[in-house]
């Protein structure tokens, strides 16, 4: 069967709702929920702090790192388990060493998601923040990036995909510009799990942060931080504990190797079990198949929306440079009112913003169906 048209909705918890807010938090496959339940029963039956529980937990931690390493094409020990995308961003923002006359480069200022904006803006107390000017979709010119980079630039921090327009930033081209010159951080919360195969060696980034509860269909409270092995020495851990360091000569401190260096006090074992199950579900379906299905659903949505009078569409028209995120407004109707009215009809969308402009964001994932998209279109026509 053509996987683009395959209906897998029965593999997820069923209800009367049409859930199209996956760019915020996605649904989890039923198998992942069952895997978490089974782990909790086993973990508690054998004793959470017992000799028998330790190999069980260590096995789960190894497995999830191996699975995530497959998804982003890195080594398992380069995968650090966190609670969120924001955790990884702060690893870099608080862990890099900056001189008073150094600078870093970000994109679009308040066009950026808060999690990938506020930690960098906080740094302007001690360094210069250089801003890349953007167009209406959030893209910038590579020449502008090159012109801002100098010998005082300590970091370039960018989103892989923009949460508001769905625009895909050409990170591989950027990586070629920055390689061996400037450390490169990517917020990939909106890309991992929805835009096909990802290879960090081709992107040439030093650090990448994303979470498990968006496009990877994992549980809340799960996040991942990729740290290139050769770049780990650039970061001083923001927290420290017995899991991440050792004491030698009675009072001297030394950090452990990756991933333990940044792994202080992680205990969300049940979340990791759910994340591994979801990630393997996605891998079985095929990352590129997910990308094709998401493109199809968003193309249908944009095309049908464009036929409705008074609809304003945002984001790139070319489906090759955007995700399944489709943002729009209806002239004369407040975006929050649109979302509220549709939720009363069991259609779940979200209000987001592009700078100061509030917009309605729709974000279908591969478990959604074309028939659901068409039902949403019918509901919007009747508003």
Alpha-carbon separation of residue 51 from 43, 46, 58, 68, 273 (angstroms): 11, 9, 12, 27, 19
Task: For 115-159, write each residue's pLDDT tens digit.
Answer: 999 999 999 989 999 999 999 999 999 999 999 999 999 999 999
In the chain, where are the structural domains located? 9-20+286-381, 31-284
C-alpha 373: how far from its chain's center? 23
pTM over 0.95: yes
Residue 1 has pLDDT above 70, yes or no: no
Counting Cβ atoms within 10 Å, is residue 371 exposed (0-12), middle (13-18) or buried (19+)?
exposed
- Cα-based angle 62, 67, 72 (whole degrees, multiple of 5): 125
The mean pLDDT value for 67-94 works out to 98
State the DSSP code for 213: S
pLDDT tens figures, 183-237: 999 999 999 999 999 999 999 999 999 999 999 999 999 999 999 999 999 999 9
CATH of segment(s) 31-284:
3.40.640.10
Output b/e per residue, 96-129; b: 16+ Cβ within 10 A: bebeeebbbbbbbeebbbebbbebbeebeeebee
Task: Look over the chain and give the mean of its residue pLDDT values, rounded to a whole number.
Answer: 96
What average pLDDT does the segment 156-181 reach?
A: 97
End-to-end, the C-alpha distance of the chain in Å comes to: 37
The first and second tokens of residue 87, run together, are 């955790």
Contact (CB, 8 A) for 148 and 76: no
In tens, the pLDDT along 245-299 reads 999 988 889 999 999 999 998 899 999 999 999 999 999 999 999 999 999 999 9
Whether the CB-CB separation of 343 and 376 falls below 8 Å is answered with no
Instruction: Check if CATH label 3.90.1150.10 holds for domain 9-20+286-381.
Output: yes
């Amino acid at each position: 069967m053509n996987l683009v048209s395959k209906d897998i909705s029965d593999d997820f918890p069923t209800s009367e709702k049409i859930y199209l807010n996956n760019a915020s938090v996605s649904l989890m496959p039923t198998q992942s929920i069952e895997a978490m339940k089974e782990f909790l029963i086993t973990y508690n039956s054998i004793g959470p702090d017992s000799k028998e529980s330790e190999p069980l937990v260590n096995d789960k931690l190894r497995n999830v790192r191996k699975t995530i390493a497959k998804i982003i094409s890195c080594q398992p020990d380069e995968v650090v388990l966190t609670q969120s995308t924001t955790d990884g961003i702060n690893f870099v923002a608080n862990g890099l060493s900056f001189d008073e006359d150094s600078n870093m480069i970000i994109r679009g200022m308040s066009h950026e998601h808060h999690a990938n904006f506020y930690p960098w803006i906080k740094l302007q107390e001690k360094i210069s923040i250089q801003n890349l000017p953007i167009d209406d979709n959030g893209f910038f010119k590579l020449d502008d990036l090159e012109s801002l980079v100098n010998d005082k630039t300590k970091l370039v921090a960018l989103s892989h995909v923009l949460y508001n327009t769905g625009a895909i930033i050409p990170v591989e081209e950027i990586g070629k510009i920055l390689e061996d010159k400037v450390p490169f951080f990517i917020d990939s919360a909106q890309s991992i799990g929805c835009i096909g195969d990802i290879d960090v060696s081709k992107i040439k980034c030093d650090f990448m942060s994303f979470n498990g509860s968006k496009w990877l269909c994992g549980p809340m409270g799960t996040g991942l931080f990729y740290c290139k092995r050769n770049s780990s020495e650039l970061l001083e851990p923001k927290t420290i504990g017995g899991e991440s360091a050792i004491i030698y000569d009675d009072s001297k401190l030394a950090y452990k190797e990756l991933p333990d260096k940044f792994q202080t006090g992680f205990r969300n074992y049940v979340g990791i079990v759910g994340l591994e199950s979801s990630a393997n579900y996605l891998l079985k379906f095929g990352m590129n198949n997910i990308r094709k299905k998401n493109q199809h659903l968003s193309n249908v949505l944009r095309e049908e929306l464009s036929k409705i009078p008074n609809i304003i569409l945002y984001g790139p028209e070319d489906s090759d440079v955007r995700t399944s995120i489709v943002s729009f407004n209806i002239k004369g109707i407040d975006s929050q009112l649109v979302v509220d009215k549709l939720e009363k009809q069991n259609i779940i969308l979200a209000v987001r913003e592009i700078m100061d402009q509030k917009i309605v964001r729709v974000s279908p994932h591969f478990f959604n169906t074309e028939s659901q998209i068409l039902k949403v279109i019918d509901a919007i026509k009747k508003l």
